[in-house]
Amino acid sequence: MTHAAYIAIGSNLGDRAQNLRSAVDAIARHDDITLVNESSIIETPPVGDIEQGPYLNGVIHIQTTLPPRALLNTLLRIESTLGRDRSKEQRWGPRTIDLDLIIYTDHIINEPGLQVPHPRLHERSFVLIPLVEIAPDLLLPVHNETPRRLLKALNGVS
């Protein structure tokens, strides 16, 4: 069975644009994944109190036969291949690449290390802006809202 999934991508170390392109290309090369669409890339300030440079962020839409945990493990392997070492990072610190599984069809998953939809999706304009570009009217589980409406709410627009 094929599932639609959305992955947030980000980078603020090294050649940020190349890091994102390499990650998307690696995802698209996987035998069990088809790249459907990708958003524009936006530059955003970092989240948190750690001094660091701005991020490049985007969202991709894929179709996959991988179950959610296997997809997450694939994303973690790609991060590692591209130089990310999660064991040496500070939370919300700088990173060469960040691949977050934010939506997996209409599944609601709350397991150690895997929460879908992403628990802070509705608070992050750097995810919602690119998601609105490629899936503005997708009904999100848990929130029972669309990315477009969540972004308006985040921006204080009714």
Catalytic residues: 84, 95, 98, 100
- What are the distances in angstroms from CA 78 to CA 30, 52, 72, 82, 120? 10, 23, 10, 6, 22
What torsion, rounded to 10 degrees, do the Cα atoms 52, 14, 79, 24 define? Answer: 110
Which residues of the chain form beta strands (DSSP E)?
A: 3-11, 33-38, 42-44, 55-64, 98-104, 109-111, 114-116
